[in-house]
Amino acid sequence: IAMAATSRVMRAVRVFEFGGPEVLKLQSDVLVPVPKENQVLIKVHACGVNPVETYIRAGTYARKPALPYTPGSDVSGVIEGVGEHVTAFKKGDRVFTLETVSGGYAEYAVAAANRVFPLPDKLDFRQGAALGVPYFTAYRALFQKGCAKAGESVLVHGASGGVGLAACQIARACGLKVLGTAGTEEGMNVILRNGAHQAFNHRDPNYIERIKECTGKRGVDIIIEMLSNVNLDADLQLLAHAGRVMVVGCRGRIEINPRDTMSKESSIIGVSLFLATEEERHECATALLDGIEAGWLKPIVGSEYPLEKVAKAHEDIICSSGARGKMVLLL
């Protein structure tokens, strides 16, 4: 009996080999992790699904975890226990995370206490799982790396997905002129309701021309780019003088003409949330929690899947046409 008390088991998704969505295996006998010092144990209510998790699972991403592993970084839930030296949280606290140590596609997850933040009562757990990666990435891309200022214009490519909607809400609240692209009528309506001044359908063959018409001869100051392997060449034509493309997502190679950056002294800047410092994460969290309090930051949850359907979620996030909000797993 004593053994059973200390070695609780849970359901968790495990990956034993890199490959397609079918390598995601749901197991019901995984040991519940124990928080070490400066860590907390979270009872997971929802976990976000991010495109990067499909690249890691496929083995094509720069950072490869040791096998076997449990995917997932941004969870929301309730603190179940805390390790030594943790004073910021106690059992029962509602929280969300940026990343986990043990993996988020599971009933319990361990996370470093400094990657965990209080989840305001205004948001439910589904929304909590849509906060971490998308909003911190969008804030980092706009301000920490993109140096966005009120009065500038921003074009958000793929604006109806998790990071895209976060970027629209944040940019609008901070005084930027926001243009967004989506692949469906529904997606365009979602972004217009969430901060975009104008929406463009990126399936329209003339959509680049329409954006040019809208911005006049000047171009846009910042482009938040989720699919740089498709759009980067065209992005460089859309930029204003000293404009910058923030590379948030990429699924392959692309050919560009570097001369396009010379004519406008424009920049292409990569964005990686993994490289944020403790101070930068704290700045993001403060700005976002203020936005929730003020009422303009409202995560939009898209498709929801039970843990059993995790392979379908991984398939859909890459293959389905037109995102609308953040994809989450519900536990």
- What CATH number has the domain bearing residue 17? 3.90.180.10
Residues 57 and 112 both lie in one domain:
yes
Which H or E element spans position 214? helix 207-215
Tell me if 179 is assigned to some domain.
yes
Tell me if 294 is assigned to some domain.
no
Residues 121 and 208 both lie in one domain:
no
Tell me if 54 is assigned to some domain.
yes
Lowest mean pLDDT among 3-7, 78-82, 253-257: 3-7
Residues 233 and 162 both lie in one domain:
yes
Q: Residue 180 sits in a domain of what CATH number?
A: 3.40.50.720
Phi/psi of residue 80, nearest 5 degrees: -100, -30
Residues 189 and 248 both lie in one domain:
yes
- In total, the chain counts a number of residues equal to 331
Q: CA-to-CA distance for 93 and 95, rounded, in angstroms? A: 6
Residues 116 and 142 both lie in one domain:
no
Residue that the structure tokens 């209510």 belong to: 45
> Model confidence over 98-156: pLDDT tens digits?
999 999 999 999 999 999 999 999 999 999 999 999 999 999 999 999 999 999 999 99
Phi/psi of residue 104, nearest 5 degrees: -95, -15
The pLDDT assigned to 6 comes to 56
Tell me if 171 is assigned to some domain.
yes
Tell me if 322 is assigned to some domain.
yes
Residue that the structure tokens 């400066």 belong to: 38
Tell me if 289 is assigned to some domain.
no
| The total number of structural domains that make up the chain | 2
Phi/psi of residue 152, nearest 5 degrees: -80, 170
Which H or E element spans position 96? strand 94-97
Cα–Cα distance list, 208 to 21, 204, 270, 296 (Å):
34, 9, 22, 29
Bridge partner list, 309: none
Global pTM? 0.93
Residues 26 and 143 both lie in one domain:
no
The pLDDT assigned to 4 comes to 45
Locate 120 and state its tokens.
């305001």
Which H or E element spans position 208? helix 207-215
Locate 189 and state its tokens.
């309506």
Residues 164 and 239 both lie in one domain:
yes
Residue numbers of the domain that contains 152: 134-274
Tell me if 4 is assigned to some domain.
no
135 torsion bin: left (phi>0), alpha (psi -120 to 50), beta (else):
alpha
> Model confidence over 277-290: pLDDT tens digits?
999 999 999 999 99
